[in-house]
Structure 1
Amino acid sequence: MHRCFALKSTAAALATVNSPSSTPSVQGTETTESSREETPESSWSRSTTHFSPTFDLTREYTFALQTNSYKEIWSKIHQIHHHSGDLSTPDLLSQLLQPNRSSVEEALRDATPGNLTRLACAYFDYSEHTSNLCLRLHRIIDCARSMYAPVHELLEQLPLDFDFITQTQQQCDWAFDVLLQFESLDNPFPNPDSNSNSFNDMRRCLAQMKLELDLHLHRSRKKIRLFRGATTSSALCLIGLTVGVAATAVGIAAHALAVVVAGPLFAFLPIHFTKRELHHIAQLEAAAKGTYVINNDLDTIDRLVARLHAAVESDKLLIRLGVVRGRDKYPIQEVVKQLRKNQPNLLHQLRDLEEHLCLCCATVNRARSLLVREIHLQQTRNS
């Protein structure tokens, strides 16, 4: 059950794979178990595989955890948090984000001002905020582990079949003090019902951006269809004119004039206008795919955080009921037994959240890399 929300979220993404601008959130998977090398293009290609009843979500999730991008993010995040006391938040993000803010600013320096550039800037900002949110949540996981460390040490020291009746008063006092201290601490995980929920704010921004991107994609594709239709109509008119007037000198002259007038138009529209629109579409699609997947990952993380918040609150309530009668052995004994039962599930949930934070950061980096690549390609072709 500890991966329930992750697999459901992945299944929901795959179910919408036929949408033109939708990409599911199974990221960074490879074609063989022996080869874990990946590129942004291969990752997106694999993530758009058509869903079938035989699709193994657990296998895909396992593959995602074995990719080079995931391992690199996992290593970076743990190194960052190990040395985080000497680094500011921008420095932490600079180490985690690839491409980082300076690389993105350099790519956008020569971009033509307009809606496309504005959306690209907003997209990079939102993706950076997402990575920052993942870093903050990873710190919260560390806080939760520190919070539970005395309780878990207590569970390890006490035998599985312990009975406080046979234990010394010193052990009973130790258990009581540990539980009382835990109950006095605040829940490190944010309340999902809070008005200041960062997940809701970020998902709302990403959803709005997705609507804008889809609207611009629709308009750009419509322009392509219109001008291709106009080009085709011009070609058919020229063919009809050639057949109808080929027998007369006047017709031949008219045909020559039509070629002189319509020829440049025929050449101009598909080469200049259409290619420019196709470049815009490529950038819009890269941003739309990234927005969809990041938003989907945030939804999964939000669910995992909500579960952990509820688990901590449940343990605090359980302990509160146990210590309310003071150092009474019997209720404390029952609390310890229940905490022992809850411990494996809590550890699984913490591990799941940690994995999904790393997967989300890897997704952000792939999405940023794809959009920067499309921007560089357009600049290269225009130069």
Structure 2
Amino acid sequence: MPRTGRSRRESDEGSLCRKQNVNEEYQEAFRTKSFMDICSIAQGQLINAGITANTTTPSSSPSSSLPYNSLHLTEHLLEPQQETVTNVTQSLEMHHLLWEYFEASLEACHYCDTILEAIQRMRVSYKKITRVLKLSEFVLDCPDTDQTHKAIYRDLASFSRQKNPFSIISSSQFRDIHNAYARLLHRLKSEDRKIRRRGRFKRICKKVGGIGLIVLHSAILIGLLVFALHSLVGTVAAPCVVVGLVGLFRRRTKRVSGRSSTGFERQCEQLDVAAKGIYLLINDFDTMSRMVKRLEEEVDHRQAVADMCVQNGKCEILKQVLREFHDHESNFLDQLEELEEHIYLCFLTINRSRKLVLQEIMGKQ
């Protein structure tokens, strides 16, 4: 029994250490130059775009495809760009699944910058609530503030009527994204295994052929030795013939081995790197879907509360609503920032994976 307790404590300590290591890696990613570069580029483009609260958000439904946003952040954040990949790989031999990987990672970036735009729209929309909270500090306890109360109700009504920015991607769309990337991951792994099996089969055939060739050479050598015993000329010619046959055998073996290593192994390495990139992408998007869903529900709740307050029109209800908004404001803004940082990390992961795959394609041709 003491051993069981000790092993349980060791397991708990091990899981805690792993969790701390993951958190350290997560925080370390925020301090990298690549992450800071992505943040600065994205923020600059968002500021230049000048998103306003009146900007219309494209409608979306579970059955419709995700519309690309008007900011085109992918053009500034994606590395290497899709045009670069196309130009580089036109003259190189590349498996068709690798091109599907590049297309999938490009599509993932479009989803990411669409959600980034939704975050900015939410921040612009939430400025009404921030203004209401500031006004409430001065007017709720004052009797002669009818005009200010009307302004507060007007802002609350405007906030409650606005479309939830995070509804731009539904839960069913996130499931479709997950399933599409999971299918691509399965195909990459399956093709990798198929190529490895094909390579092993050819190596076995080559070994069997080599054994047969050795047997054939041995038979020829024995014949030459027998001939040498009966002929002085054979004694002189036999070593030359044997040396020539052995040299030919070695050259053929090296040539076949070289073709195998630069063919099957190269494709397997490329597919393996692409599969790892898709695997990371699936995990990132699963996390993103949960964060977006949580924020969407939070915004829906706040809009419903604001609408209820406007419809009721009583000062006591207004005080309770504003108190709730004030108590949860910091947590809500933290969730927005957390989602934004996660999207930047997604861009960073996508860029690293694309560079690695392209390096595998270019470096081993």
Distance 1:182 1:77 in 2: 26
1:366 matched to 2:352 = yes
Q: Within 5 A, what are the aligned runs for 1:21-170?
A: 54-55=17-18, 56=20, 57-84=22-49, 92-112=73-93, 116-159=94-137, 163-164=140-141, 168-170=145-147
Cα pair distance change 1:62/1:194, threshold 3 Å: closer
Deviation at 1:84, TM superposition (A): 3.4
**In the alignment, residue 171 of structure 1 is paired with which amino acid?**
T
Task: Give the deviation of 1:250 after TM superposition.
Answer: 4.7
8 Å contact from structure 2 (residues 281, 350) kept in 1? yes
Cα pair 1:73 1:96 within 8 Å, conserved:
yes
Q: Bigger shift: 268-277 or 88-97?
A: 88-97
CA contact (8 A) 1:238 1:259 kept: no
Measure how far apart 1:342 and its partner are. Answer: 1.7
- What residue ranges of structure 2 are gaps of 5+ in the alignment? 1-13, 52-68, 229-237
Instruction: State how many pairs are aligned.
Output: 321
Deviates more, 1:222-231 or 1:99-108: 222-231
- 8 Å CA contact 1:165, 1:329 repeated in 2: no
Q: Would you say 1:331 and 2:348 are equivalent positions?
A: no
Decide whether aligned partners of structure 1 residues 58 and 260 sit closer, same or farther in structure 2, where only a CA change above 3 A counts.
Answer: closer
Change (3 A) 1:117 1:230: closer
Whole-angstrom distance in 2 between the partners of 1:191 and 1:141: 11
Identify unmatched segments of 5+ residues in structure 1.
1-50
> How far has the Cα of 1:72 moved from its partner?
1.1
Give the corresponding residue for 2:3: none
Overall identity of the aligned pairs, in %:
25
Contact 1:304 1:353 in 2 (8 A): yes
The TM-score with structure 1 as length reference comes to: 0.74
Secondary structure (helix, strand or coil) at the match of 1:292 reads: helix
Deviation at 1:321, TM superposition (A): 2.1
**Are residues 190 and 122 of structure 1, via their aligned partners in 2, closer, same or farther at CA, if it must alter by over 3 Å?**
same
Going by fraction, where is helix more abundant, 1 or 2?
2
Deviation by residue 1:200-246 (Cα, 9 ceiling, x = unmatched):
33323221211111111001111232233344455666778899998
Query: Post-superposition shift, 1:60?
Result: 1.4
Map Cα deviations across residues 81-128 of structure 1 (whole Å, 9 max, x no partner). 222379x9696433211111221011111134xxx5322222111111
Across the aligned residues of Structure 1 and Structure 2, the Cα RMSD in angstroms comes to 3.3
Question: Is 1:286 paired with 2:269?
Answer: no
* Candidates 112, 131, 151, aligned match of 1:174: 151
Matched, 1:267 2:254: yes
**TM-score, structure 2 normalization:** 0.77
